[in-house]
């Protein structure tokens, strides 16, 4: 294809602002998909995505479009994932485009995540086409939000397009504007091939399907290619485009977007952001921006049935084929038995992984409270990277570092006070504040990642009646006064409950945990003290009083069959009991204590 006739673009939108509906409408209007094939939300394939109404994996689709100049253009729509955990994937999808449609719900206005992705698109020098969607809604306020959008991107309110993805109104005009405003790709056709991977998906039948954007040169079937980050080489078995069903082709040239299949079975061999070149005539420089996926949040995953351990291992291995960011290693917990310490990009990534394990592999799981990664410098000069609080080093500590994020909150200005209060409680630092319009404000904070990844968003939503939106990205680490709090049963630390917290919050954590456990653990034959401690210093204590009589006592000498029944019942119950020292703890207690609500 002549690059002059190609337009590569993506749609930047907040969840529910109508990205998938607009993509569907474009496919339908251009005839890329006929009405019979048309099913709602063509681009979102995964069940969990559809259920939760979020797009996780990006994909590309080719849309042929005859513009007002009567020439037929190839529009490549690259879908971007819609959640903060996947910022890096978003950045690579944007890097594969020359332009972006900024799609905003005309009844809602722009949201924090959209703004963050817009900034990223501007950093990548993309042409931005501002569009208000859902103008068919009675609650739409196109005048108000055109002014807001124009203010943010620096155009005239009249330049903001208005569409209804639902009815199709304005969508053809939008396609024409994409052709008119977004520049065609430029690259060197004769140079050694360079293509950027912006997505990589494992398919049971075809192996890994790698989505690429060719920058220079050309990729052809049967050619041997090389991954520039690892130097590993593969043969291209199939090359094609999604239109939107996978369709084989004779190769991809400058500016083209498509997929390749090499027979590799694991997405870690075909990583997002990597550069593909040809083995015979390799390029000398990789494309910029490649990063190894880096897990940010760790949690222990344990099967509730101990015999499910091998099933869990196989399941994690299978998921890893399609998830370069998922890491895991075996871990044993005195409280929970055999399991795995798993690393995730963020909390949503964790939730999705857990939901898939439970649903697709029929596993019942218990997970420990998620934690971020800490770096500990010791006075003797050694250094520890802590991904599990119970492995926090003992000894003289010189400094502890925790990961930080840069957060953007967008909200009606009525809630500024509540937001400031919340961010202060979470050790946040206000960096700046801007009014987007007279009643909407953008606030920028730096916050410890540990304070934001877990329940921050829920608190933000409830304090702003659901109106605030949030986006954040990691910005390195910062030293902090952190301590490890242990929870002890009869003097014995329960590994699953150890936590690393700020010293000002240690006491609250200790009191809450000991209270919770006192309620959850049944009385034993003897008194059980529950303590929270920092090192040897106890900061909170509760007691479980002893039961006065032995259960069996009243049976002695009595009816033997009744006694056996009672023993059997106890045995049944014991299967679900874990011993911590001499204390029997029902597994239920761990599950309840570890659940966040």
| Binding site feature residues for GTP | 16-21, 133-136
- The conformational region for residue 136 under phi > 0 = left, psi -120 to 50 = alpha, else beta, is alpha
**Under the criterion CB under 6 A, does residue 196 sit at the interface with ligand GTP?**
no
User: Exposure pattern of 112-139 as b/e (b: 16+ CB <10 Å)?
Assistant: bbbbbbbebbeeeebbbbbbbbbbeeee
If binding is defined by CB under 6 A, does position 114 make contact with ligand GTP?
Answer: no
Residue 476: exposure state from Cβ atoms within 10 A (0-12, 13-18, ≥19) = exposed
Q: How far is the CB of 85 from ligand GTP (least distance, A)?
A: 14
List 5, 15, 279, 433, residue binding ligand GTP (CB under 6 A) = 15
Q: How far is the CB of 20 from ligand GTP (least distance, A)?
A: 3
Residue whose CB is less far from ligand GTP, 115 or 239: 115
Segment near ligand GTP (CB under 6 A), from 19-27, 114-122, 387-395, 551-559? 19-27
- Find the part of the chain contacting ligand GTP (CB under 6 A) among 62-70, 114-122, 160-168, 419-427: 160-168
Q: Restricting to residues 75-94, which ones interact with ligand GTP according to CB under 6 A?
A: 82
Stretch that binds ligand GTP, among 90-98, 162-170, 299-307, 517-525 (CB under 6 A): 162-170
What are 76's strand-pairing partners? Answer: 8, 62
Of 21 and 242, nearer to ligand GTP (C-beta) is 21
Q: Of the candidates 19, 92, 268, 427, which one interacts with ligand GTP according to CB under 6 A?
A: 19
Applying CB under 6 A, among 20, 226, 353, 390 the residue interacting with ligand GTP is: 20
The 3-state secondary structure of 52-90 reads: HCCCCCCCEEEEEEECCCCCEEEEEEECCCCCHHHHHHH
**Beta carbons of 244 and 75 less than 8 angstroms apart:** no
Per CB under 6 A, 136 contacts ligand GTP? yes
Residue range at the interface with ligand GTP (CB under 6 A); choices 13-21, 213-221, 341-349, 505-513 = 13-21
What's the CA gap between 546 and 526, in Å, rounded? 4
Residue from 1, 3, 5, 16 in contact with ligand GTP (CB under 6 A): 16
- Please tell me the distance from the alpha carbon of residue 471 to that of residue 113, in angstroms, as a whole number: 5
Q: Are 255 and 184 in contact (CB under 8 A)?
A: yes
Restricting to residues 42-71, name those near ligand GTP by CB under 6 A.
44, 53-55
Q: Which of 144, 166, 515, 541 touches ligand GTP (CB under 6 A)? A: 166
- Of the candidate spans 12-20, 119-127, 363-371, 576-584, the one that interacts with ligand GTP by CB under 6 A turns out to be 12-20
Q: Considering the complex, state which of residue 12 and residue 254 has its C-beta at the smaller distance from ligand GTP.
A: 12
Please state the three-class secondary structure of 346-393 as a single string.
CHHHHHHHHHHHHHHCCCCEEECCCEECEEEEECCCCEEEECCHHHCC
Contact 303, 363 (CB under 8 A): yes
* Closest to 215 measured CA to CA, from 257, 182, 262: 257
Contacts of 418 (CB under 8 A, 6+ apart): 463, 464
Looking at the chain, how many residues does it have?
Answer: 597
Between 162 and 484, CB nearer to ligand GTP: 162
Closer by beta carbon to ligand GTP, 76 or else 542: 76
**Shortest Cβ distance from residue 17 to ligand GTP (Å)?**
5
Confirm if 470 and 407 have CB atoms less than 8 A apart.
yes
Contact code string over 245-284 relative to ligand GTP, x by CB under 6 A: ----------------------------------------
Task: Indicate the residue among 136 and 568 with the shorter CB distance to ligand GTP.
Answer: 136
H/E element, 117: helix 112-123
Shortest distance (Å) from residue 80 CB to ligand GTP? 9
Q: How far is the CB of 171 from ligand GTP (least distance, A)?
A: 9
With CB under 6 A as the contact rule, the residue among 8, 59, 91, 133 that binds ligand GTP is: 133
State residue 88 phi and psi, 5-degree precision.
-65, -45
How far apart, in whole angstroms, are the C-alpha atoms of residue 20 and residue 11? 9
User: Least CB distance from residue 147 to ligand GTP, whole Å?
Assistant: 20
Nearest-angstrom CA–CA distance, 113 and 409: 9
Q: Which of 9, 10, 12, 21 binds ligand GTP (CB under 6 A)?
A: 21
Give, as one character, the DSSP assignment of residue 155.
Answer: S
Selected from 93, 164, 387, 388, the binder of ligand GTP by CB under 6 A is 164
| Shortest spacing between CB 455 and ligand GTP, in angstroms | 22
Q: Write the CB contacts of 504 (distance below 8 Å, at least 6 apart in sequence).
A: 481
- Residues in region 282-301 near ligand GTP by CB under 6 A: none
Residues binding ligand GTP: what is the number (CB under 6 A)?
A: 20
Q: Taking the CB of residue 461, how many other CB atoms lie within 10 A of it?
A: 14
| Integer Cα distance of 345 and 451 in angstroms | 16
Nearer residue to ligand GTP within complex by CB, 26 or 436? 26
CB of 370 to ligand GTP, least distance (A): 24
Kindly tell me which of 15 and 416 has the beta carbon lying closer to ligand GTP. Answer: 15
When asked if residue 137 is in the footprint of ligand GTP (CB under 6 A), the reply is: yes
Provide, rounded to whole angstroms, the least separation between the CB of residue 383 and ligand GTP: 40
Q: What angle do CA 301, 305, 310 make, to 5 degrees?
A: 70
The site for ligand GTP (CB under 6 A) is made up of 13, 15-21, 44, 53-55, 82, 133-134, 136-137, 164-166
């Amino acid at each position: 294809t002549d690059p002059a006739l190609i337009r590569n673009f993506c749609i930047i939108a907040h969840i529910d602002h109508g990205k998938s509906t607009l993509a569907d409408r474009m496919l339908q209007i251009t005839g890329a998909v006929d009405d019979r094939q048309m099913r709602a939300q063509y681009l979102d394939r995964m069940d969990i995505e559809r259920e939760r109404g979020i797009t996780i994996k990006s994909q590309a689709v080719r849309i042929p479009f005859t513009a007002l100049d009567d020439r037929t253009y190839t529009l490549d729509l690259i879908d971007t994932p819609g959640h903060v955990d996947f910022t890096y994937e978003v950045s690579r999808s944007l890097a594969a485009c020359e332009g972006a449609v900024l799609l905003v719900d005309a009844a809602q206005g722009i949201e924090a995540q959209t703004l963050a992705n817009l900034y990223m698109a501007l950093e990548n020098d993309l042409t931005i086409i501002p569009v208000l969607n859902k103008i068919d809604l009675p609650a739409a306020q196109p005048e108000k939000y055109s002014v807001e959008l124009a203010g943010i991107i620096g155009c005239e309110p009249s330049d903001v397009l208005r569409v209804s993805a639902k009815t199709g109104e304005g969508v053809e005009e939008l396609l024409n504007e994409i052709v008119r405003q977004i520049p065609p790709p430029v690259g060197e056709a004769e140079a050694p091939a360079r293509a950027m991977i912006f997505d990589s998906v494992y398919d049971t039948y075809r192996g890994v399907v790698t989505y690429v954007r060719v920058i220079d040169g050309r990729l052809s079937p049967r050619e041997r290619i090389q991954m520039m980050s690892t130097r590993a080489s593969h043969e291209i078995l199939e090359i094609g485009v999604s239109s939107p069903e996978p369709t084989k082709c004779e190769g991809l040239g400058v500016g083209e977007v498509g997929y390749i299949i090499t027979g590799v079975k694991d997405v870690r061999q075909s990583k997002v952001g990597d550069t593909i070149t040809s083995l015979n005539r390799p390029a000398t420089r990789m494309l910029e921006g490649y990063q190894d996926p880096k897990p940010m949040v760790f949690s222990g995953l344990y099967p509730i049935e101990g015999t499910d351990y091998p099933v869990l291992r196989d399941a994690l291995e299978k998921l890893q084929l399609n998830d370069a960011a998922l890491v895991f290693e075996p871990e044993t917990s005195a409280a929970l038995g055999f399991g795995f310490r798993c690393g995730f990009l963020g909390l949503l990534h964790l939730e999705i992984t857990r939901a898939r394990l439970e649903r697709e592999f029929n596993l019942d799981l218990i997970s420990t409270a998620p934690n971020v990664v800490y770096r500990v410098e010791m006075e003797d000069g050694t250094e520890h990277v802590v991904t599990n609080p119970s492995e926090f080093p003992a000894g003289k500590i010189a400094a502890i570092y925790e990961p930080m994020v840069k957060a953007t909150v967008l909200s009606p200005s009525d809630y500024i006070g509540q937001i400031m209060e919340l961010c202060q409680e979470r050790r946040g630092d206000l960096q700046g504040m801007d009014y987007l319009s007279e009643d909407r404000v953008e606030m920028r904070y730096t916050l410890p990642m540990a304070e934001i990844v877990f329940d921050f968003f829920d608190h933000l939503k409830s304090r702003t009646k659901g109106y605030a939106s949030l986006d954040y990205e990691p910005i390195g680490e910062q030293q902090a006064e952190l301590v490890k709090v242990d929870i002890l049963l009869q003097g014995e630390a329960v590994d699953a409950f150890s936590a690393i917290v700020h010293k000002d919050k240690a006491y609250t954590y200790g009191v809450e945990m000991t209270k919770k456990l006192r309620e959850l653990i049944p009385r034993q034959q003897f008194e059980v003290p529950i303590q929270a401690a920092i090192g040897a210093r106890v900061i909170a204590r509760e007691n479980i009083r002893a039961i006065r009589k032995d259960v069996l006592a009243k049976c002695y000498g009595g009816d033997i069959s009744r006694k056996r029944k009672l023993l059997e019942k106890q045995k049944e119950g014991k299967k679900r009991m874990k011993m911590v020292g001499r204390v029997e703890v029902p597994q239920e207690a761990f599950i309840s204590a570890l659940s966040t609500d």
